[in-house]
């Protein structure tokens, strides 16, 4: 049963993490990735795609077909946590108040 919560949460985290990389890559923009501050668009497309693959693997092993509502809730919590923390990780939040 713990797989539902842990793997569902991680699926949400990796899924949301892949979105900005993949979309900036599709737009042809350079974007921060683990491989450099201004990574090429192809690097970001591949990195975003790999995040989606990892999210899918976690979702598969979470036994989502048995516990749909619990898996959905876990994925949504992981997605929300990552969506709230991602701007800080990417340096998009200005830490200095005016």
Domain boundaries, the chain: 2-89
Per-residue pLDDT tens over the stretch 7-17: 999 999 999 99
Residue 51: count other Cβ atoms within 10 Å of its Cβ. 20
Cβ atoms of residues 44 and 25 within 8 Å: yes
List, as one string, the DSSP characters of 9-24.
HHHHHHHHHHHHHHHH
Q: What is the pLDDT of residue 87?
A: 85
Residues 61-65: what's their mean pLDDT? 85
């Amino acid at each position: 049963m713990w797989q539902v919560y842990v793997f569902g949460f991680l699926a949400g985290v990796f899924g949301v993490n892949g979105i900005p990389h993949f979309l900036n890559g599709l737009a042809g923009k350079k974007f921060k990735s683990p491989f450099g501050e201004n990574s090429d668009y192809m690097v970001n497309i591949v990195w975003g795609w790999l995040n989606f693959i990892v999210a899918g693997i976690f979702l598969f092993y979470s036994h989502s077909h048995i516990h749909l509502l619990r898996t959905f809730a876990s994925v949504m919590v992981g997605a929300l946590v990552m969506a709230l923390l991602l701007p800080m990780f990417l340096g998009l939040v200005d830490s200095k108040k005016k």
